[in-house]
Amino acid sequence: MATDILMPALSPTMTEGKLARWLKAEGDTVSAGDVIAEIETDKATMEVEAVDEGILGRILIKEGVEGIPVNTPIAVLVEEGEAVPDASSMQAPAAPKAEVAPPETMRAVPAKASAEEKGERIFVSPLARRMARERGIALDELTGSGPNGRILKRDVEKGVTAPKTEPKVVPAATLLATSEDTVRRVPNSTMRKVIARRLTESKTQVPHFYVSVDIELDALLELRSKLNATAQENSFKISVNDMMIKAVALALKKVPGVNVQFTDVETLHFENVDISMAVSVPDGLITPIIRNADHKSLRQISVEAKDLAKRARAGKLKPEEFQGGTFSISNMGMFGVREFAAIINPPQAGILAIASGEKRAVVRGSEIAVATVMTATLSVDHRAVDGALGAEWLNALRDIVQNPYILVV
């Protein structure tokens, strides 16, 4: 009997994905455990394994299709010798599920209820639904030109040409600076769209508070050199970032009021310290997690961080390796950045921006000396962390970094 292969939920929060690539073709024999396709989620491209054996009778969703809801049939598996069901008799892929509703305090109140909010069904293609959502067009304001009044891509595009809302004013300079002959259009990946949405939500809905401190690195750099010199045959190499992960974790244990998350009902205080580290990947950013970083040695952190970063860039992380975390760090020191402020990674309440260490003049008593100084900037959710607490935490971090032997005891 023919079996539907469904779009899997590759993480607890996944509602839809993009079918990036088929690794099996129609007519190929499939065994349980075979990798049959690659699915692009908001964080990574992940492999999909077959759970049954048979023959890939028909592919329902082509490569490159985005916005496929979880549990939508993407292909049909048949037994050897079994006829492949006719496409017209097969169940059409389900319409996209509605997006997960945000908390009440984060949801904009509409001027009037849409047809879908009233329980009325609107027939719309997945592509048209996504386009309408991205462009802020209400589906019940569109007239479908497809079968049974189904709203299609062209209907959304027509709706854009004559919007009912106030049109967005584009600066004249922008119009003059661009033309179809000089613009290269690159479609946004699923990851890029999610990054844009989440960071916009963070900056508009989370009250950011910033506090910076200058930290001298000479003692830490000296300790790093000594530790790496003890490595036999380059068995490990500790980086400044590895040491900062451990220092941040210890500072969070010393000032635990920053290791929190804010909700509308309560503030969550975490006993465990799980550090999310920002890693640049080809089309965005992902934050693999060093869990229980305060209990791990520098060598353990170094090995784990390098492995996570390598697999992050290859799109091979498991969901549990990048989902969660209690605090984030973003290190741009390798790019020579003097100072920057990072955007909070919700639902976390804090992120540390680590800039480059550079030689600066410092005053010690009545003397001027030269030291390697780094500017670190803490961004916190002001709903959960007050300015004085943020400053206390940064001072604790500075004490740890400037007296780094605590990192190895």
Q: How far is residue 91's CA from residue 103's CA, in Å, rounded to a whole number?
A: 34
Q: Which of 273, 261, 146, 140 is nearest to 206 (CA)?
A: 261
Among the listed residues 208, 269, 295, 382, the single catalytic one is: 382
Q: How far is residue 93's CA from residue 134's CA, in Å, rounded to a whole number?
A: 22
Angle between helices 153-161 and 126-135 (to 10 degrees): 20
Based on the residue annotation, tell me whether 295 is a catalytic residue of this protein: no
Judged by DSSP in three states, 148 sits in helix
The pair of structure tokens assigned to 339 is 């100072």
Q: Are 82 and 21 in contact (CB under 8 A)?
A: no
Sign of CA dihedral 121, 123, 128, 130: positive
Q: What is the DSSP letter of 23?
A: S
Q: How far is residue 303's CA from residue 284's CA, in Å, rounded to a whole number?
A: 23
**Neighbouring residues of 43: CB distance < 8 A, sequence distance ≥ 6:** 11, 191, 194, 286, 317, 319, 322, 323
Q: Are 281 and 315 in contact (CB under 8 A)?
A: yes
**Percentages of the chain per state (helix, strand, coil), in multiples of 5:** 35, 25, 45
Task: Tell me which residues are annotated as active site.
Answer: 382
